[in-house]
Amino acid sequence: MIDVKAIGHATFETPDIGRMADYYTGVLGLHPEYRDEARAIFVTGLGRETLVLEKGDVARCTRIALQVAPNTDPGAVARDLSERESIRSERRSGITPGITDALVFKDPIGTEIELFTAWKAGDTRQTGGISPLKLGHIAFTCTDVKLQCAFYERVLGFRVSDWMEDFFVFMRCGPDHHTVNFAAAKAARLHHVAFELKDWSHIGEACDLLGQNNLPILWGPGRHGIGHNIFIYHRNPDDQIVECYTSLDQMPDESLGYYEPRPWHKDKPQRPKVWKRADAALSWGPQAWPDYFRGKD
């Protein structure tokens, strides 16, 4: 029904917007496009809207903005959502400086989806900090991972890229191996948020920046099995896990059904499959520190 093409930005509520804004500016290297007491909107150095912070009682991800094809008719999508899925949606305007309007509705765990057709770049500028290329993916935990997966397939047009056994699904909406992930747990919450970096040397620079800011790397550098991305993970001031990654598997042609061959693939060609947990977590690299797993059950 809906054919999502890409992720735009994600919106997070935070009890301390100043502290988080300082982190996303000084450490992650985004720059504020808009700022007031209750809201901050950040773009990458390339002017791409990436993250919105809003004042809230608890730290949580409340919305993800997903881009659909420019010729999508929001009215027709709203009717389809209502008639086929009994989902109520609403048109909202002034989403961000770069997105004039969106069709908004909730997924099964209550995250609001903001569907938009076009965006306008903000100012481009050199930033300090890590300075990622884009928001890459968002991972959530949920109590019914099969239901969540089916919703993203049936309603939003995502495809399953890989399963880690039967409890962790990785889903794509474009060439990137995954844009959303869902892991089974006792409650629905953010699992981690991930930003794409340019290459290996950019990961090295990020490690140095995290060290300079006394933010421990909780897992990595290493290469995952699923998705084969080079990764590092740390926690932001709201205690949320943030991943910086590069070298994620790409599927440029859906009809071929396999990822671009890479030297580190064991399957030739590498196709979507169900992975064993140990193989899925690491191609190589250290095991995660215990603090990586805190709050994920």
Task: For residue 194, state whether it binds Fe ion (rule: CB under 5 A).
Answer: yes
- Of 63-71, 94-102, 126-134, 189-197, the segment contacting Fe ion by CB under 5 A is 189-197
Nearer to Fe ion, 78 or 230 (CB): 230
Compute the least distance from the CB of residue 67 to Fe ion, in Å.
Answer: 20
Q: Which of residues 222-281 bind Fe ion (CB under 5 A)?
A: 243
Nearer to Fe ion, 28 or 102 (CB): 28
Nearer to Fe ion, 63 or 224 (CB): 224
Nearer to Fe ion, 194 or 210 (CB): 194
Spatial strand order of the sheet with 4-14 comes to 31-35, 39-43, 49-55, 4-14, 60-68, 112-116, 101-106, 90-93
- Of 35-43, 186-194, 215-223, 249-257, the segment contacting Fe ion by CB under 5 A is 186-194
Nearer to Fe ion, 31 or 191 (CB): 191
Nearer to Fe ion, 128 or 216 (CB): 216
Compute the least distance from the CB of residue 213 to Fe ion, in Å.
Answer: 21
Side-chain-side CA neighbours of residue 161 (13 Å): 25
Compute the least distance from the CB of residue 115 to Fe ion, in Å.
Answer: 23
Compute the least distance from the CB of residue 46 to Fe ion, in Å.
Answer: 21
By rule CB under 5 A, what count of residues binds Fe ion?
Answer: 2
Nearer to Fe ion, 243 or 249 (CB): 243
- Of 7-15, 68-76, 190-198, 246-254, the segment contacting Fe ion by CB under 5 A is 190-198
Task: For residue 145, state whether it binds Fe ion (rule: CB under 5 A).
Answer: no
Compute the least distance from the CB of residue 245 to Fe ion, in Å.
Answer: 6
Compute the least distance from the CB of residue 215 to Fe ion, in Å.
Answer: 17
Give the closest residue to 257 by CA, choosing from 239, 270, 248.
270
Give contact residues for Fe ion (rule: CB under 5 A). 194, 243
